[in-house]
Each structure stands twice: as structure tokens, then as C-alpha cells.
Structure 1
């Protein structure tokens, strides 16, 4: 990793060191950042400055060193309040939105307030009533924190920057609780899902390796169609090209894409008709590295991949490069008609996700947005 990249990842003005008390002093020498690249807290014990007693219930332990995790710093305000700092996207200090962390060693009926204090965006669905999600060891399904417990406001103590605070009461001392910006959808989850589909041996489903990321993760290409369509040469092949998850923090797009795939491989009569007349090409995750690292908008190297379509680099933007090459090959095929759809998320509108379709016909490009 370049020196400039490391400088961006560990920019002190954004979240400082992973210390946990108001005087910037950690409660234990072994606590702090253990991942020197990403910079997430690892089993960080949040205790008052100068505390030398034994660890007891209610001394919260924070962790984000796991897939798609993100938490850069915790400041102990009191036993009932903690300031949380999002770790910026790798190599791009501009983006600080996604968070995903665990809390353990809680006390029964311990009530706390978590303040996420360093958001990089002012426009957010939190202003429109969205709330973070939570699950725990005994309740493994995600659920939203009640809206009445979530507050999004400008804070004088944080130089009038937007802060999202939420109140929470722990009800099981043995549980590990996990909190996230929105419902997580990891790279590993996608791989498991696609592997399960492969075991079903559908005649109309095919999984291919389109390319590899900078960190050598898979860029998957899914083809869904009636087998006879793959042998057509004279007739026009109508190709629907679908992509998702170009921005790691836009997790709803992965759920939409999975639902789309589930429907298209099903025995539903409409799905069968669509497979008979169309060829579906799907890239379900355009930014696997960014997703794995817990970034919000950027790739491993700090690029917004949705801004690299014009001149992608095989070295810096391999997933966009490979996807564009495939699109160009389809476009140069005289017997195919193309429609491109990108599942993404709109964080500034009152709707959580939408689809953008680019219709290519005789080299002409038109844009349609469906909310």
C-alpha cells in the first residue's frame, strides 16, 4: 500500500487513534487497532481513563475486525454514553458513512447512547426516519432499532456536524450484539448463495468467473436463459445485462439482485417465458474488495468505481474493466439487442433503492430511471 494510501486511511483529523476515553488514553495496552491496513477497532475495551480495577459486566468491548466491519474509534463519555467514529474508506478519507460493529460484555438492562459523530454526508435517509439495524447471538435475525430511539441532528459539540445518536438497552448478558448502518450483505454470503445455486444443476443457470479483483476475489458472471438461446446465430439475441453493488454500502441492491435471481431461476410461468425469449447476464457484485473491507463507496484503492466506466484500468479497476469488455463484446455482436440495468441505492431520497436502465439500440443511449 502506498504512503499516500496509508495517510488517508489513518488520517488523525477524521477519527484519530483507536483510544476509548475522553483523554485519548486506552484502557489496556493490548486493545486498539490490530488491522494495520483497514484500521478497525479489535476487541476494544471501553473503560474510564485511569481505571485499574478488574473487568466487570458493563465494561463494553467493541469489535469491527470482521468481514464488512467498520468502526475506527470509540470514545468513552460515561458508562451510559459512547462516541463512535466511522473508519474512512480505504485510501479515500472523503467517505465515512458505513458502520458495522459488535458489542459484548454487556450488563443486564444496561442502557446506553451511541453517538456516531463523523458522518461525511449531511443528506441521509436517517433524516427521513431510517434507523440502524441490530441483531444478537440469541436473536440472529436483523431488526431495525425503533425510530423513536434514533436522533439525527447537528451537534454544537461536533462543530455543528451531523450526528446520529441511538439509545439501546441490553437485555442478555451472554449475547454479542451487532449494529450496522443498514442490513449487511457480505461477499462471503454471495459466494455461499451462488455455490448453493450451482448444486441445483439448473439447465438454465450458469456461473462463470468474469475476472478477479485487486485482492484476488471473484468477479462472478451469472447467465440465466433457456439453453436453446445460447445456440442461436441467425435470430437476434435479446440480452438483459444486470449489475449490482458497485458501491459497498448500498447493501439493499444485493438483496434486490438476489431476489431477482431467485425469481429468474424459479418455475414461475413468467420466469419461464422470460427465459425463453431473453438472455440474462448478471454481475451481482461489482466491488467485492470494497464490500469485504467495509467501505461505503470506494474500492480497495479508494476509487469510486461508478466513475470509472469511461476509461477503466485493468490494474486499478479490474472489475469495471472486465465488465466493460463484456458489454463491448455484446455491443459489437450484430445479432444481439442489449438492455443494461444497474441495481443501486439512493441515500438522498425517501426511497431506499432504484434501478437505472441504459437502453442501447443502434449505438444510441437512452436513460430511464425507475423508482
Structure 2
């Protein structure tokens, strides 16, 4: 009974700490437990205070392993999926394991071979991590939440590395793209404000009308074709956003 009570208290305490994740880490240097000396290379500095960033807490398990806690979706603490953060102050050839420990999804493409993306200041193009270095599993140490762990080796000390759930697509990028379309004064494109988000950002609707290209052969016999696609305007981008960007380019 005593052990069961201790386990319950530990679980409740961790749950409370997760609910308290109200902001992103900001240039947070993480040192091993009990370390009191001066900071040095290999003491990783985490940051997520930028658009589409998400990392609420970092626990140092050892010099080589870190538990990372992501913040929940806006107004819905049940959903925790997106992560996007940077790491710097690394040591050349330093190997680490990052554990994203509080995923809310039971089904994920990470179980089927998908892997996070990474880039650095000297290699600004996003690349996927090797699938063999990524693991997705239930973890008894974290209330049997799904955990995604990935191994990585830093190879350049002066680089800042950025890791994300998938290719980020920010609200600012979307607005710049829609602005560029408006400047072209296209006869068939109409952009209007549909409403405001919970943080008072504009939610737009774009109508592509009278396009001569058939968008969907299966409804070609109908007098009018209406294709409705939504680009999520959220602090946590979705993998569908770049695809819808390409769709807009095609029409």
C-alpha cells in the first residue's frame, strides 16, 4: 500500500509539473545534477522562444540523455504533439539521446518509420534523421505515455542545431505568401478575413474562382467545382501546411 501511494504521489506530481508548462524554455543551459563548476562545452543550451517553437521543460537524466517536455495545444491541454527547439554550446562528436516524454497521441507515423527533422546554421536545409535512430514506445517511467527517443551526434561546435516534429510552416510565412499573391492582382483570387484566432491573429479565406484547369476529374460533369482546403493557422504547424502551399502554387 505504501509503495502504491508513493507511485501515485509521483505520478500526480509529474502531471502537475506538466500542466504548469506555460512558456517555452529561453536559452536554458542544462547541467548534470549536482554540478557546481563553471559552464563548459557540452552543457547544452536549449531554446524555443521563437515562432512555432515548443519546448516547455528539460530534465537532465545523464550527461548523454535528456527528457524533453512539450507544451500542449492552445486551450486544450490534452493534445501534445508538436515540438521545435534549438540546441547550442555542443561539443564536437558529442552523442546524446533526446526523449520527448509527454506525447498525447497513441498512433503516430513515428511508429511506421517517420523521423524528426534537423538543420543547423551551416546546413540550413531540413533533413530527416535516420529512422534507425528513432524509437516510439510506451514508457512506464512516464505514466505509460508514448515517448519518442532519438539519438544524435553533434559534429560542429559552432553550429546551432534545430530539431522539429516535421517541416515547420509558420503563420508569418503563410501571411507573406498570401500577401505576394494579392500583389499579383490575379482575377480569379479573392482573399478575405474569415475571423480572428484565440490570439487575435487574422484567419483568412482565399477563393480561387473561374479557373479553367479542372481540379478534380471525378466531378468534371458538375457545372461548378468547389474544393475547400484549410491551411492550419496554429502555433503548432501541421505537416499538411506545406502540401497546401504547393496546391496554391499549382492553381
Common topology (TM > 0.5): yes
Structural mapping, 1:27-66, within 5 Å: 38-66=22-50
- Which segments of 5 or more consecutive residues in structure 1 lack a partner in the other structure? 1-10, 19-35, 229-235, 265-371
Which residue number in structure 2 is paired with residue 241 of structure 1? 228
Checking the alignment, whether the CA contact within 8 Å between 1:16 and 1:73 is kept in structure 2 is: no
Q: Which aligned segments of 4 or more residues in structure 1 are displaced greater than 6 angstroms?
A: none
SS in 2 for 1:244: coil
1:188 partnered with 2:172: yes
Which residue number in structure 1 is paired with residue 98 of structure 2? 114
Number of corresponding residues: 230
CA deviation digits over 1:242-269, x for unaligned, max 9? 32327765622211211111000xxxxx
1:253 partnered with 2:240: yes
User: Aligned partners of 1:203, 1:257: CA distance in 2, in Å?
Assistant: 20
SS in 1 for 2:125: coil
Which residue number in structure 2 is paired with residue 212 of structure 1? 196
Which residue number in structure 2 is paired with residue 157 of structure 1? 141
Checking the alignment, whether the CA contact within 8 Å between 2:18 and 2:69 is kept in structure 1 is: no
CA deviation digits over 1:35-84, x for unaligned, max 9? x9942111111002332322211110111111111111111111111111
Which residue number in structure 2 is paired with residue 13 of structure 1? 14
- Which segments of 5 or more consecutive residues in structure 2 lack a partner in the other structure? 1-11, 213-222
1:170 partnered with 2:146: no
Checking the alignment, whether the CA contact within 8 Å between 1:15 and 1:72 is kept in structure 2 is: no
Checking the alignment, whether the CA contact within 8 Å between 1:89 and 1:95 is kept in structure 2 is: yes
- Give the TM-score taking structure 1 as reference length: 0.57
**Deviation of 1:153 (Å):** 1.9
User: Aligned partners of 1:45, 1:262: CA distance in 2, in Å?
Assistant: 42
User: Aligned partners of 1:224, 1:140: CA distance in 2, in Å?
Assistant: 33
Of 85, 91, 102, which residue of structure 1 is paired with 2:69? 85
Checking the alignment, whether the CA contact within 8 Å between 1:203 and 1:227 is kept in structure 2 is: no
- Give the TM-score taking structure 2 as reference length: 0.82
RMSD (Å), alpha carbons: 2.6
